Amino acid sequence: MSSMNETGLSELLHDATEDLPARDLVASAWAQGRVVRRRRRAGVVAGVVALVATAVAVPMVVAGGGSSGRPEPAPPAATSPSTEDEVGVATLPVWDPFTLADAPRGESVLPEVVAPPERLPPDVLDNPLPAAVLAWPEEGRDLMLLGTDGEWRCVPGTADAVTGTLDDVLRPSLSSDGHRVAMATNDGVLVVDVTEGTQQLLPWPDEIAAPSDTIPDVAWMPGEQTVLVHHWKGGWLLGLDGSAAPAPYDAAYPPPFVDPDGPVRQHLFDDRLLVEWDGDRRVDEVPTDWWGERYATRFGLVGFTGAVGGRRAGPVVVSADDARVVAYAPTRDRASVYSDNGYLSVIGFLDPSTALIKVAPMSFRTMDLGEETWHLVAWDFESGEFSTLTQGATGMRRISVAVDAVR
């Protein structure tokens, strides 16, 4: 290759890449960099305090790398070819949850930062709430409820209601209006009416009463008179009237999800079908070409964390009628942070164009577990805008939210 052809090679390399699509990677990079700087600074301050307190020279390690100016060797996660064009969503921008640091605040009854009180709040049985907007479980503490009036309450006697499992933390489920909260315990499903200060225990049917390694999740059926138990042996429906019956839904994962106003739906991944149930009848099924987990449904829509056509997981909204993708915000999802590791979930719909998302910007490469900040986010998927409703520390990962009480 002559020198003239070397010049030709240079021109060819430029020509071959000249029309690449323009991507805005800058804003999210600065936001993510700011998070890392803050964390390092917090680590340095904590280290200095520790040094002063102990007067002992201890080597200080700050997560995320040193200050040598050399780049860290850790590589980005593996990627695979994108086929997003196949489903017509190629033009969607990649959403980086780290940009939530600069997102506008959305309308909500929730405080800007939510954190349960250090001292146990008053008992909800003696001090009812107008409604609870979120339920906050913590290991070894009674379940705490945040009212729509901003007051905290506890559900007495629940600190040790789950024992002998691999993770002895309650998994509460608030009804969409925030009037009731249900939670699986060792003895059955405890249901508390937070507006009246009453409670009742729905005993376990014999079929699912045996001890389990994990306590099952529960969900409210429409009308808030029946609780759906997602037991690994199969679903059960427990009525507030004392009734108990096996649920007709498929026992496969992911479990069925309930529209507060209507049907129960389920995505049968192996069959690639989105199915709809009316009572114990399967009344509709439509083929799907996406995968997902952690589903919510309402307004004829289904929301979940998943991916459409390609590798990038993110929040997705599809039409319940035909499984057509309505909205999709792909993330980079390195190390499956937002998908398999659960740092992003669609937990409901605030209105027909706004999904409620629980998400924690996270990088396993630069952050330690527990360092993340969780956000409740309103995703206006018609405009593509994200606004934060509240944020909190790592314990917020386990909260249940009464979707209709948020605004």
Contacts of 39 (CB under 8 A, 6+ apart): 63, 64, 367, 371
Q: DSSP alpha helices (H): ranges in 108-257?
A: none
Checking phi first, is residue 342 left (phi over 0); if not, alpha (psi -120 to 50) or beta?
left
* CB closer to other proteins, 54 vs 80: 80
Q: Any contact of residue 79 with other proteins (CB under 8 A)?
A: yes
Using the rule CB under 8 A, is 336 a contact of other proteins? no
**What is the token pair recorded at 118?**
């250090």
Q: How far apart are CA 392 and CA 165, in angstroms?
A: 26
- The yes or no reply on residue 90 touching other proteins (CB under 8 A) is yes
Q: How far is the CB of 331 from other proteins (least distance, A)?
A: 11
Q: Considering the rule CB under 8 A, would residue 280 count as an interface residue with other proteins?
A: no
- CB 71 → other proteins: shortest distance, Å? 4
5 scored as a contact of other proteins (CB under 8 A): yes
Q: Is 33 in the site for other proteins (CB under 8 A)?
A: yes
Site for other proteins in 159-218 (CB under 8 A): none
CA distances from 378 to 107, 125, 319, 374 (A): 9, 32, 19, 13
User: From the CB of residue 89, how many other CB atoms can be counted at a distance below 10 Å?
Assistant: 18
Stretch near other proteins under the rule CB under 8 A, chosen from 49-57, 77-85, 270-278, 340-348:
77-85
- Please choose, out of 26-34, 171-179, 318-326, 381-389, the segment that lies near other proteins by the rule CB under 8 A: 26-34
CB of residue 100 to other proteins, shortest distance in Å = 15
Q: Report the nearest approach of other proteins to the CB of residue 6 (Å).
A: 7
Considering CB under 8 A, how many residues would be counted as binding other proteins?
A: 54
Backbone torsions φ then ψ of 245, nearest 5 degrees: -150, 145
How many CB atoms lie under 10 A from the CB of residue 110? Answer: 24
DSSP letters of 35-81? Answer: HHHHHHHHHHHHHHHHHHHH--------TT--SSSSPP-PPPPP---
**Which residue has 């959403």 as its token pair?**
95
Which among 27-35, 126-134, 262-270, 349-357 is the span making contact with other proteins, rule CB under 8 A?
27-35
The reply on whether position 279 binds other proteins by CB under 8 A is no
The site for other proteins (CB under 8 A) is made up of 1, 4-23, 25-30, 32-34, 36-38, 41, 69, 71-82, 84-85, 90, 94, 311, 332, 334
